[in-house]
Amino acid sequence: MSLDWKIGLEVELLAPRGLSRQTLAEAIAHRCGGRLRRFFHPQAEPSKVPGKPVFQNLTLGFEVLDATGHWLVRCVDDLTLQDDLDSQRPAWPGWYRIVSDDIRLLRLVQAQCDPGAVRETVLTPVARLFHTRVETNSAGMARVADHEDAAIAIAAPLPGERERPCELIVAPVSADHRSRWGEHLALARDLGFALPAEGATHLHFDATPLCSAPVLAALVRLLDPLQPCLRRMMATNPRCRRLGAWPPALLERVSAADFAGLSWSAARAALRALPLTKYCDINLLNLIHATPEKHTLEIRILPALLDVESIEMMALLWQGLLRWILEAGPGAVPPDPQPAAVLALAGLPASQRGFWSARLTGLKN
């Protein structure tokens, strides 16, 4: 069995001290003859300010484009990676983030501001829109507010070592996955990039074959009881942040008598009414919302990995499970939640089951 599903890859890495995620992006661009582009990468983090539960961030990301302008890889920050960093170290010159309590205002910043600009002036285009000025202080912050001094956005120096986290995002490919993924990971290893304490690997399977109410109902109904077993098989990192099971309301809704007969648009509308989040073991939001450039089913429970063989074998297992779900009839029942049963359903050949036998034996020891 080989990988033939269109899959995107995300691997969370940590640059050695003295290097940054920009270093890896530049090395990839040099190797493939591509062009480097700096961009704003949106993220959210919990806030300690009363009444403002979340701060929205734009952090500096680096994208490699090929000769035709299509992106190949992106190297971005991941705010969940914290334990390996020394926040007391000085911020790198020229590196900053833009913070707001409203994602709509940050989208305005993305549309109006140049990610190549320096911190002191990057927000000037937004200040012009509000007929105000950028205000700076001795802490190095550049603030824009409206004419009543309500804050719009702040450009602030990065906390210490925030240049080191690097989520390597590889554009989806439909063939030759091992070669494409392996060359980027080998370059990261050569540069001394390591696995962070809270790290994970994410697989983004193209969601196009899954876009029907009965298929999605089968996916939830058949995978929900298997999630603890799948976590054991993947050896999910216990320090990885933002994982968890689906809410019970999801299984209840897709199991309702009317759900499988809904049109795809009606099924998506029904699921958008549920308290779903991307921060779970299997993220359905990109599928439900038809997210542009990321219309995927995201598998989030792989540990951080630098060896392409393990990533390929885990992707093959998930590809086999998704094919089983596509072929399952309405009467299909979840298997025994044990690794042997999961491997049988995935249809892996003996040569690939050997990887899992060795892995599962190692996990027990």
What does the DSSP assignment read for 154-221?
A: EEEEPPTTTTSEEEEEEEEESS-HHHHHHHHHHHHHHTT-B--TT-EEEEEEE-GGG-SHHHHHHHHH
Q: Parallel, antiparallel, or unpaired for β 165-173 and 142-145?
A: unpaired
What distance in Å separates the CA atoms of residue 262 and residue 141, rounded to the nearest whole number?
Answer: 51
What distance in Å separates the CA atoms of residue 298 and residue 300, rounded to the nearest whole number?
Answer: 6
Q: What is the DSSP letter of 143?
A: E
Reduced to 3 states, what is the DSSP secondary structure of residue 62? strand
What distance in Å separates the CA atoms of residue 253 and residue 258, rounded to the nearest whole number?
Answer: 9
Question: Nearest CA to 213 among 255, 166, 165?
Answer: 255
Q: What is the DSSP letter of 92?
A: P
Give, for all 365 residues of the chain, the pLDDT tens digit: 789 999 999 999 999 999 999 999 999 999 999 999 999 999 887 656 666 656 789 999 999 999 899 999 999 999 999 999 998 898 888 999 999 988 999 999 999 999 999 999 999 999 999 999 999 998 889 999 999 999 999 999 998 899 999 999 999 999 999 999 999 999 999 999 999 999 999 999 999 999 999 999 999 999 999 999 999 999 999 999 789 999 999 999 999 999 999 999 999 999 999 999 989 999 999 999 988 888 999 999 999 999 999 999 999 999 999 999 999 877 788 888 999 899 988 888 888 888 888 888 777 66
Distance from CA of residue 169 to its chain's centroid? 8
Q: Helices H, strands E: what count in the chain? A: 12, 12
Q: State the Cα angle at 201 between 103 and 313, rounded to 5°.
A: 145
6, 218, 255, 268, 337 from 330: Cα distances, Å: 26, 7, 11, 19, 19
> How confident is the model at residue 358, as a pLDDT?
84
99, 141, 154, 157, 229 from 137: Cα distances, Å: 16, 6, 11, 12, 53
What distance in Å separates the CA atoms of residue 57 and residue 41, rounded to the nearest whole number?
Answer: 8
What distance in Å separates the CA atoms of residue 308 and residue 8, rounded to the nearest whole number?
Answer: 14
Helix (H) / strand (E) containing 258: none
The domains of the chain are located at 9-88+163-198, 96-157, 203-364
This prediction's pTM: 0.93
**What is the tens place of the pLDDT at every residue in 108-166?**
999 999 999 999 999 999 999 999 999 999 888 999 999 999 999 999 999 889 999 99
* Tokens, residue 45: 């983090």
Whether the Cβ atoms of residue 281 and residue 230 lie closer than 8 Å to each other:
yes
What distance in Å separates the CA atoms of residue 149 and residue 127, rounded to the nearest whole number?
Answer: 12
Contacts of 255 (CB under 8 A, 6+ apart): 217, 221
